């Protein structure tokens, strides 16, 4: 008896969920629904996989100005990584050399030679630090500009996609009919359960 009862509850639930899905199909065309089904390749590869980015990607498909802006930002970010990587490779090799030189100097057994080598390494290291201080400042500036660009672009994308979520909401009005019907079915089953002894 209980098995039959729970099977009927399960079947009612499944049919009710199907009704809800059919009732909530989009009425208004919007980028949110389209974003779920397709994302342009280049956009997804670097920008992210969240709903804002997917929706913005849909907007870009139909707006040449947005597409040009997006590609400018993408290319600037890509170029900045290349530029910085070139400098960082040189700086990293130099820093590695100084670390190795300091470690190697510790193994020198003659104390006078050891002190002189340590002094020479430190002098060269200090001179190099002065030389690259402006380079480090410029790299920091590029990184800060990239962060600022990302922040401003994120704000822009949010502003551009807000109307789309509003269209989505209009396209998917949340009518309470099926919820009310389902609650009535639940209440009937609850009454049946209360009567069972």
pLDDT digits (tens, 9 = 90+) for 137-166: 999 999 999 999 999 999 999 999 999 999
**What burial class does residue 94 get, using C-beta atoms within 10 Å of its C-beta: 0-12 exposed, 13-18 middle, 19+ buried?**
middle
Return the SS3 of 168: helix
Is 134 a member of any domain? yes
DSSP label at 110? S
Is 69 a member of any domain? yes
From CA 113, how far away is CA 139, in angstroms rounded? 37
Contact present, 7 and 150 (Cβ < 8 Å):
no
Is 96 a member of any domain? yes
The total of structural domains in the chain comes to 1
From CA 80, how far away is CA 78, in angstroms rounded? 6
Q: Which of 6-15, 105-114, 186-195 has the lowest mean pLDDT?
A: 6-15
Per-residue pLDDT at 28: 56
The model's confidence at residue 172, banded by pLDDT at 50, 70 and 90, is confident
Is 89 a member of any domain? yes
Q: In terms of Cα–Cα distance, which of 103, 101, 105, 128 is closest to 115?
A: 105
Per-residue pLDDT at 49: 74
Residue 195 CA, chain-centre distance (Å), reads 53
Residue span of the structural domain in which 112 resides:
49-170
- Mean pLDDT score of the chain, rounded to an integer? 84
pTM attached to this predicted model: 0.67
Is 58 a member of any domain? yes
Contact present, 56 and 161 (Cβ < 8 Å):
yes
From CA 51, how far away is CA 39, in angstroms rounded? 10
Q: Is the pLDDT of residue 45 over 50?
A: no
Is 7 a member of any domain? no
Task: Look at the block and give the residue holding tokens 């099977």.
Answer: 7
Is 124 a member of any domain? yes
Is 135 a member of any domain? yes
Q: Is the pLDDT of residue 22 over 80?
A: no
Q: In terms of Cα–Cα distance, which of 85, 86, 70, 87 is closest to 149?
A: 70
């Amino acid at each position: 008896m209980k098995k039959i009862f729970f099977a009927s509850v399960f079947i009612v639930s499944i049919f009710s969920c199907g009704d809800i899905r059919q009732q909530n199909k989009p009425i208004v065309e919007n980028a949110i629904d389209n974003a779920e089904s397709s994302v342009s390749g280049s956009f997804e590869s670097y920008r992210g996989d969240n709903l804002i980015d997917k929706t913005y990607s849909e907007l870009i498909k139909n707006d040449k100005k947005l597409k040009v802006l997006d590609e400018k930002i993408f290319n600037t970010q890509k170029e900045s990584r290349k530029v910085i990587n070139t400098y960082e490779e040189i700086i990293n090799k130099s820093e590695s050399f100084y670390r190795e030189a300091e470690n190697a100097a510790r193994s020198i057994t003659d104390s006078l030679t050891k002190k002189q080598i340590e002094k020479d390494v430190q002098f060269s290291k200090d001179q190099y630090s002065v030389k690259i201080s402006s380079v480090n400042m410029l790299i920091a500036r590029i990184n800060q500009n990239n962060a600022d660009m990302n922040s401003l672009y994120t704000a822009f994308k949010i502003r551009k996609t807000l109307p789309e979520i509003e269209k989505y909401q209009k396209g998917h009005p949340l009518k309470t009919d099926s919820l009310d019907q389902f609650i009535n079915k639940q209440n009937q089953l609850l009454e049946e359960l209360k009567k069972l002894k």
